[in-house]
Structure 1
Amino acid sequence: MIASPRLRGVTYGVVAAAALAATASQLGTYLPLGVIEGNVRFWGDTLANPASRFITADIFFVFLVVWHWMLGEARRLGMRGITWYFLGSLLIAFSATLPLFMWHRERAMRARGETVTGIGGWGANASVLMVALACVAYTWRAWPALG
């Protein structure tokens, strides 16, 4: 785990921006269709094959559990604006909204005098770095202008 709260905040921001770039890179097909037709086509495509159905179901269930946790944390810490995280998760991208929530949560915890703890250690940091590199590689490959 990153020890510095400031560096963790920057990291959450970078992750949110990268997630937004990765997801936005896939919207070129849907945006010209407009809000209604674009959504109809998008959700139809999420059911197009077993792989897309798998990842869609997986994300829905992760969202269900994490959203429940987010609501509890927001209530416990007296965080305002939780509705914006929910709307952002549904209308923009959960992968971009969750890091922003984590940054807000840390600020709320520090304001209450609570410390943020994590698993830390070289193994945890190495696994996070490997996932981060895989995400960067995917984003680079998925972005039409870069690929």
Structure 2
Amino acid sequence: MTSRQSALCVFYALIAVAALTGTAAQLKPYLSLGIVQGNVHFWQDTLVNAASRFITVDIMFVFAVVWRWMLTEGRRLRMGGYFWYLPASLLIAFSAALPVFMIHREIARSRLNPAEVDDTGAAGAFSVMLVTAVALAYTWRALSAVI
């Protein structure tokens, strides 16, 4: 694995931890309801207002596209157990499961010929860093509301 790939894995791991922390901080009202009722109430809450409906519909379409890509990429790179990321993204948090998938993907890509590995370049890296910074700001805000 190259140093760039190792750095990406660390970056993805940090995102997964932050995502898991930020999403878990929102679960307190649902945990006391149990698994079934907690899930029912959670999904009802995603439909409370226009903003929550917007983000729910938006993320479901993102799921559809990214899950398709994850399955294709998992098969292409011969990543064992790649299909487990789909239920993990539903049952735990998509924002945590996807970075873990990306770590798994980088490990699989490290076995490829360097000529087969593409790079997003500086613009791609900048856009990822920008979105990550915004997500971290929301995570911090969510944590400060719970703590």
The two structures have a TM-score, normalised by structure 1, of 0.89
Alignment RMSD, CA only? Answer: 1.5
1:130 aligned to 2:130? yes
Matched, 1:14 2:9: no
Equivalent-residue separation in structure 2 for 1:82 and 1:40 (angstroms)? 27
1: CA distance between counterparts of 2:77 and 2:4?
Answer: 21
Distance in 2 between the 1:108 and 1:6 partners? 12
8 Å Cα contact 1:106-1:116 kept in structure 2: no
Higher mean Cα deviation, 79-88 or 9-18? 79-88
Distance 1:43 1:99, change over 3 A: same
Task: Say whether residues 1:34 and 2:31 are aligned partners.
Answer: no
* Unmatched segments (≥5 aa) in structure 1: none
Match of 2:86 in 1: 86
Query: What's the CA shift for 1:112?
Result: 3.0
Structure 2: segments with no counterpart, 5+ residues: none
Measure, in 2, the Cα distance between the counterparts of 1:74 and 1:127.
Answer: 24
- Partner Cα separation in structure 2 for residue 112 and residue 137 of structure 1: 36
Alpha-carbon spacing, 1:124–1:83, altered in 2? closer, same or farther (3 Å): closer
Secondary structure of residue in 1 paired with 2:58:
helix
Shift of 1:111: 1.4
Identity of aligned residues (%): 53
2:59 is matched with which residue?
59
